[in-house]
Structure 1
Amino acid sequence: MQREPLVLESAAGPHTIINSKEVVNFASANYLGFIGHEQLLNSCTSALEKYGVGSCGPRGFYGTIDVHLDCEARIAKFLGTPDSILYSYGLSTMFSAIPCFSKKGDIIVVDEGVHWGIQNGLYLSRSTVVYFKHNDMESLQNTLEKITSENKRIKKVRRYIVAEAVYQNSGQIAPLDEIIKLKEKYRFRVLLDESNSFGVLGSSGRGLTEYCGVPVEKVDLITASMGHALATEGGFCTGSARFIDHQRLSSSGYVFSASLPPYLASAAITAIDVLEKNPDLISKLKENIAKLWTGLSDIQGLSIASTPESPIVYLRLETSTGSVKDDLKLLEDIADHALKEDSVFVVVSKRSTLDKCRLPIGIRLFVSAAHSESDLLKACESLKRAAKIVLVNHI
């Protein structure tokens, strides 16, 4: 590692403490501003007093507590699906769910921009993996057409399309309505990761299906991390009862991991309750996204790669140096300048050697409903100054 990672010294809210200094935080996916929310804290305190900290066992071996069942039912009710299943860790949800349904000999068509958790699930499944161009529906159609024509005689092969609702590596929103049309035409199943869209997209935060006007039953399986909008931890899958029941017996992350600490399940239930009672949180988040997007649209030397409605505002270099290492250095210098000079905390989407994502790296800003107008203005002005100084010196 070239640099030591920054350490937060307080809660990862819209403002946090780094090196004993208060900074405006755009590095945490606290989309609804639920970190430190009084009702969530009270819910956790009550659950801690009742259940203790952990469950000390996997779900199938005396690790199931009533609050887990309540949480699964609450998620299913909120999204309008028949059933849900909880996982102990957000990232493990997708890489446990994929190999649970897709095995050696099956075919998975996947966007080239998916995050590492999905990539790991593809690897563990040992399936035949075919990538299509990032968020390109023409590329997806051509890929499905080719696979279908080559496998006409093979009837037992299971076939899946895997995508993210909001791509962590670009901030772009997937056109679910078009994906569903192609799914039905070529007879594939769809697995959708809604980690960055659950609680964010749609008029009531029900995610990409609500945003695109697609009935939720058209998507075969939805997964999401609860560590973003809900400001708790763990993950869930939701869909038909058959899909969920199968995971209870065959998904490694569910069968072998100690179950989600009860206080986190309780916090997730409370977070969904608060969201349903306060739809203005979604409106506020959308306003903040629009203000930041507009403020950064003319930044020198950088361009916005993300969709205007995405809670992840993603900045890329307009002109790459031709080297990922040099691009990373420039972007990190911009982020460092914004932090040191203006106390604005943003992060570069650097990747480990395990991450095979093919998309360019960039600066990623997570927008929160809890950010004030002055926070957004400060971030825009700071990044414009930093980009101008760093990129002019580079030239």
Structure 2
Amino acid sequence: MEMVLPVANATAAALARVSAVFNAPLARAVVFGIHIDGHLVVEGLLIAAILFQLSRKSYKPPKKPLTEREVDELCDDWQPEPLCPPIKEGARIDTPTLESAAGPHTTVDGKEVVNFASANYLGLIGNEKIIDSCVGSVEKYGVGSCGPRGFYGTIGSYLLWLFSIIYILWPQKKNLAILWFADVHLDCESKIANFLGTQDSILYSYGISTIFSVIPAFCKKGDIIVADEGVHWAVQNGLQLSRSTVVYFKHNDMASLASILEKLTHGNKHTEKIRRYIVVEAIYQNSGQIAPLDEIVRLKEKYRFRVILEESHSFGVLGKSGRGLAEHYGVPVEKIDIITAGMGNALATDGGFCTGSVRVVDHQRLSSSGYVFSASLPPYLASAAMSAVNHLEENPSVLANLRSNIALLHKELSDIPGLEIASNILSPIVFLKLKTPTGSAVADLELLEIIAEKVLMEDSVFIAATKRSSLDKCRLPVGIRLFVSAGHTESDIFKVSASLKRVAASVV
């Protein structure tokens, strides 16, 4: 402001002087006995200049085609920008190629291996009943829906008119009409809602797109989100897309969460008028820890926040019957405002879902980008999800097998040299981290990748280190992530444990 005022004053003074000069008596001319003021002369010249510029033809450079030699020279001189940054030498580790379904035993680079690198918690990959349901769905509906749910992607709804006609004309054929009207997407949504004890649910066509579509659907600019610092990339992406004010608390630390909630709400009347959310994972993908839901719900009710719970690794795993974190802690599911989950980890299918109240679900049908703008989940994948839930309800022993395998692996790896278990005893993600980190995440990851590569090459056990891109904001320690399945045998557990102990002792 100090510089603008003198410049404005000087400009005004200069204009005043020019105007005074042209309006002075001496600046007048007499043409044919008529007195003409000086400013009229200037205005006439300006009008003439404008007319001259408007009458000029636009310049068109000569169109001379390039010779073949000139074209070749230009092509030789062109240097394209790289599509991606160069790979560092430390990251040049051959990536294994999976050549069959990612079950407990699979084929990698042409040889049979025991698979602990893929999430298949209930061991349902390759299940005959699920495969049969997929085949029947493909024969009936085809392989895809060819459109979003809001247009023509809800398979079966086009038969509504037929259902109405049959029901009106032949009431005795009601069961046949309902069978014809069976809608695989709506049936799957109802199945999941009934299984979890919620009012309604909504399907998404891709697992990780569920959470980063749901968060921006409810959280907007100006809202406050308090999130765990250990949430995985899909949750981080949803937080960023929401444009909300995001505050992170220490990983799985309820004292840190309570402190932040107190600071945000104490004596701040503005905070009371905006939407506020707590975002956590039930089982954290980056650590294998389990969120203390009972304490989170207590803090939520005390400080009047809403809870968004991501259950991709707990759905079908935790709880007496696999209904997730709420059943595990005995918390009424109604106290969790929004629950999301991917179906690829436990149900041997793809896609995801969000469940909660009718109001929560209906809002997403018009406001969630992943639902509105994406083609709907292929019908055969929805059929697979329903078959997997039926299998879980009919065979509760599969959960006992899973927990037995997790406990056995924890026991066998309790004394592994150079590494330690960082995950919860009930988590199907057994997370191993270095006891003594090098101080560099890159160096730590190189050591862990060497261990994983040796275990695969020498003992035919497929495991993987946790790789994170530069976009991932999680700063938890890297480690080796073992996905335990109900389909693993005791010999599989003993094999991976013995191999890890031997290789870790030689590397770390």
Partner of 1:260: 377
Post-superposition offset of 1:244: 0.5
Partner of 1:53: 143
Does residue 311 of structure 1 match 2:401?
no
Matched-pair identity in %: 70
Partner of 2:166: none
* Aligned 1:124-163 pairs, distance under 5 A: 124-149=241-266, 151-163=268-280
SS at match of 1:155: helix
Q: State the Cα deviation string for residues 131-189 of structure 1 (Å, max 9, x = none).
A: 00000000000010001126323433100000000000000000000000000000000
Q: State the Cα deviation string for residues 184-207 of structure 1 (Å, max 9, x = none).
A: 000000000000000000110000
Does residue 80 of structure 1 match 2:183?
no
CA contact under 8 A between 2:153 and 2:375: conserved in structure 1? Answer: yes
Does residue 177 of structure 1 match 2:297?
no
CA contact under 8 A between 2:265 and 2:271: conserved in structure 1? Answer: no
Post-superposition offset of 1:326: 0.6
* Aligned 1:19-168 pairs, distance under 5 A: 19-65=109-155, 66-149=183-266, 151-168=268-285
Distance (whole Å) between structure 2 residues aligned to residue 321 and residue 245 of structure 1: 50
Which one scores higher on RCO, CA 8 angstroms, separation ≥ 6? 1
**AA in 1 matched with 2:110:** S
**AA in 1 matched with 2:306:** R
Distance (whole Å) between structure 1 residues aligned to residue 276 and residue 466 of structure 2: 31
Distance (whole Å) between structure 1 residues aligned to residue 378 and residue 267 of structure 2: 47
Partner of 2:504: 387
**AA in 2 matched with 1:381:** A
Partner of 2:395: 278
Distance (whole Å) between structure 1 residues aligned to residue 282 and residue 108 of structure 2: 32
Which segments of structure 1 move beyond 6 Å, counting only runs of 4 or more? none
Distance (whole Å) between structure 2 residues aligned to residue 4 and residue 253 of structure 1: 34
SS at match of 1:23: strand
Does residue 293 of structure 1 match 2:383?
no
Post-superposition offset of 1:18: 0.8
- Change in Cα spacing, 1:302 to 1:150, as seen in structure 2 (3 Å) is farther
Q: 2:466 aligns with which of 325, 349, 373?
A: 349
Q: State the Cα deviation string for residues 102-139 of structure 1 (Å, max 9, x = none).
A: 00000000000000000000000000000000000000
Q: 2:363 aligns with which of 246, 253, 257?
A: 246
The more displaced of 51-60 and 5-14 is: 5-14
Segments of structure 1 that go 5 or more residues without pairing to the other structure are none
Post-superposition offset of 1:5: 2.2
Post-superposition offset of 1:20: 1.1
Max radius of gyration: which structure? 2
Q: 2:322 aligns with which of 205, 209, 233?
A: 205
**AA in 2 matched with 1:196:** H
Partner of 2:313: 196
Does residue 13 of structure 1 match 2:103?
yes
Aligned length, in residue pairs: 391
Distance (whole Å) between structure 1 residues aligned to residue 364 and residue 479 of structure 2: 35
**AA in 2 matched with 1:217:** E
**AA in 1 matched with 2:488:** H
Distance (whole Å) between structure 2 residues aligned to residue 166 and residue 136 of structure 1: 14
